[in-house]
Each structure stands twice: as structure tokens, then as C-alpha cells.
Amino acid sequence: MEKNKKIVVGNMKMNLTSKEISTYLKFVNKKITSRRVVICPTSIYVPYFVNQNYFVGLQNIYSEEKGAYTGEISPKQAYSMGISFVIVGHSERRTLFKESDTLIHNKVKAALENHLNVILCIGETEEERSLLKTDVVIKRQIKSALKGLDSAMISKVILAYEPIWSIGTGVIPKKKDIEKTIDYIKGLVFQEFLVEDIPVLYGGSVNEKNIEKLNTIPNVSGFLVGGASTDPEKFLKIIEVAVGR
């Protein structure tokens, strides 16, 4: 995937039944023809999504290649199923499932070593923001996740800036605040890892109504869409605005 064009990632989370997925697929498989789109369905539905014009990603991955890890999916298994992207470090994994910075680092490394592209989520809580700690939190998350990885590996990482207080709430930061944080992130990755212009997506309550406005942020590389990606019409509108069909 070329790095200098926008991308849209749909994180469907734990939504839709098998029947609803069939309806969803009838719509999206016909209409989405852009290789700038990554859909991350609930993992049991992945086989229904592969081999289309868009890419398929997982919402989570484990850090080991194989073995006695009940309920987990390895990067090697994911790659063998035609999956090319994985979301790592989503705030729901960090908070609800207590994923540590160390585990997230191990997952990023294992995914990259097994040919997957990583969408690494970072972002601050409402409290951290009010204490003006956004940059400090983001710096910790990025430095620990990418520690020791060389620039060739990091070139397969896409960052997703998702302020936690914006996820699923309908509240989005001011455009200039998103721009400022993305600038900070790009500068930090260059300073720490000598990787220039790493792609940074924005995520948090992106929908079919605010996409035109968000799409004018000059340094945003695309969008990570949660709730709105489960509604094919809304998702398609977002794709059309950000990347075209």
C-alpha cells in the first residue's frame, strides 16, 4: 500500500450476527473497490471477507507463533488466512483486557516478523488530557511499542491517534488539536526512530457527518472508524470522502 495516500480502516469490534454479516457483505463487496480500505471484522467472520478488493485486518493478535494459548490467534495463522493488517493496542484492549505496554510491544514485534502490517493505537484519557499529559502519554506508548525495532520494520506500522474520550462518545477534538498532536507524533517517531513521515490516522467518533470536516486536517493520513463501519452506507460515505471508491 502506498504510504502517501489516505486510508480508511473499519474496526467492527464485537458487532453483527452471521446473518447481518451476509447483508453487510452483499453491500460492501459490490461497492468498495478501493485498495485504500482495511476492514477488521470480528475474527470468526474473517473467511467471509478475504479475497475482495479491500484488505482484511484483525482487531487483535497474540505475540506467540503457536502453542497452548487457548482462544488466541497467532500472526502466522493470520497471515496464512490472507490477513494483511492487525490492530494492536486499541484502548479497549489496554483498559478492559489490561494489556500492558510490554505485551503490546511483543504483539507489534511478532506481527511485523510475520509479514503483517500493524495499526498501532495510541491516545490519552480524558483525565490525562485535562492534566495536559497527552504528549507524555503518547510518547510512552510509542517508545515502548516500537522499542528496538529497525526502520524497515517501523515502515510497516501505521499509527492511529485515538483520544480515548472520543471513542464511541460522539465528541471529537478540535481540528487544530488533532493536527497538533499528529505533528507531535510524526516528529517524535523521526527523532526516536529516524522514520520520516510515519502515517497517522485519526480515530474516535468518525462518522458520515463529520468526515468532510475531519478530512481537511492537512497532516491526517486517514481514519480508523469504529461504530460507523458497521453500517455499510455510513462506512461507504466515509470511504468516498476520504479515499474515493
111 scored as a contact of ligand PGA (CB under 6 A): no
Chain residue at closest Cβ approach to ligand PGA: 226
Residues near ligand PGA (CB under 6 A), total? 13
- Smallest distance from the beta carbon of 102 to ligand PGA, in angstroms? 22
Applying the rule CB under 6 A, the residues between 142 and 171 that interact with ligand PGA are 162, 167-168
Q: Binding ligand PGA by CB under 6 A: which of 199, 204, 222, 232? A: 204
Q: Binding ligand PGA by CB under 6 A: which of 41, 199, 227, 232? A: 227
- Smallest distance from the beta carbon of 236 to ligand PGA, in angstroms? 15
**Spatial separation of the C-alpha atoms in residues 59 and 230, rounded to whole Å:** 14
Q: Binding ligand PGA by CB under 6 A: which of 149, 178, 206, 211? A: 206
- Just list the catalytic residues: 90, 162
DSSP states along the chain: --TTS-EEEEE-TT---HHHHHHHHHHHHHH---TTEEEE--GGGHHHHSSSSSEEEES---SSSSSS-TT---HHHHHHTT--EEEES-HHHHHHT---HHHHHHHHHHHHHTT-EEEEEE---HHHHHTT-HHHHHHHHHHHHHTT--HHHHTTEEEEE--GGGTTTS----HHHHHHHHHHHHHHHHHHH---S--EEEESS--TTTHHHHTT-TT--EEEESGGGGSHHHHHHHHHHHT--
Between 189 and 224, whose beta carbon lies closer to ligand PGA? 224
* x/- letters, 4..23, toward ligand PGA (CB under 6 A): -------x------------
220 scored as a contact of ligand PGA (CB under 6 A): no
- Smallest distance from the beta carbon of 94 to ligand PGA, in angstroms? 11
Interacting residues with ligand PGA (CB under 6 A) = 11, 162, 167-168, 203-206, 224-228
